[in-house]
Amino acid sequence: MFTAINEAVSYIREKITESPETAIILGTGLGKIVDHLEVECEIDYGSIPHFPVSTVEGHAGKLISGKLGETRVLVMQGRFHFYEGYSMQEVIFPVRVMKFLGIKTLIVSNAAGGMNPEFEIGDIMMINDHICLMPNPLIGKHDPAFGARFPDMSQTYDPELLQRTRQLSAELQIPVREGCYVGVTGPTLETPKEYEYLRIIGGDAVGMSTVPEAIAAHQLGIRIFAVSVITDLGVPGKIQKLTHRDVIEAAEKTAPALTRLIIKLITV
């Protein structure tokens, strides 16, 4: 694994001029932040040694290097999911690569189903905790280069970044919810009883990503800020039939506000 990471890191370093400070993993329908980026280079995932390739609609499959204001960033335009058939080691591979490229902060976004009865479609939810109902990405032989064997997860999502976003939410007049994200394998969307169960165990939103990346990043000592766009509701009486296209369209409607918020968070 470490040899593969080094090969990917070496390839990317040949393409970029400076080490990035912040990485952004853009979820379904949330790729507009690249329109605000001073782009240095774009690298197709398929050209990076050992990098997986996105197979899901709405995930472009490019690693973009550039600047937001004075902050050097790496943007993953498209991510990888366990349900695509990738192993968990492959899902978290890009996070480990970005760590060894120099990132200190990881911003992650996703589309999610809301289970909190106070939520509405289009809401932005900061993730302040998670429940992992997918295989843990740290299972397997341990390499101390990645951090502790048993990382403490009591503050996975950076308290300072959460507090700063609360302040920015008020300043920008962009309402933001907070809650616990439940990570599941997918690719099926939830049944009514699954929504009910996930709510009972403490979930406010549910999705098929983010948690593996957050676990791997936290083990590596990276600060994490994660946010969900509520694209459908798993609340009794509000559950409707849903397609992936519906999810993308709902996420795209919220993208401008979320983009403003994340840019401000990164550049202040």
pLDDT (average), residues 60-84: 90
Q: What letter would DSSP give residue 184?
A: -
- Both tokens of 224, joined, read 């994490």
Q: Note whether 38 and 65 are within 8 A (CB).
A: no
**How far apart are the C-alpha atoms of 99 and 111, rounded to whole Å?**
24
Which spans in 201-243 are helix H? 211-219
- Residue 242's pLDDT is 67
Amino acid type, 245: R
Q: What is the pLDDT of residue 71?
A: 93
Structural domain span for residue 147:
2-267
Q: Which residues pair with 8 in a beta bridge?
A: none
Burial status of residue 2 (CB atoms within 10 A of its CB: 0-12, 13-18, 19 or more): exposed
For residue 42, the domain's CATH number is 3.40.50.1580
- Other beta carbons within 10 Å of 243: 9
Q: What is the pTM of this model?
A: 0.93
- For residue range 213-266, what is the model confidence (pLDDT) as tens digits? 999 999 999 999 999 999 989 888 777 776 777 777 777 788 889 999 999 999
Taking 80 as the threshold, does the pLDDT of residue 60 lie above it? Answer: no
When divided into structural domains, the chain yields a total of: 1
164-181 pLDDT, tens digit per residue, is: 999 999 999 999 999 999
* pLDDT (0 to 100) of residue 28: 64
Other C-beta atoms closer than 10 Å to the C-beta of 238 total: 14
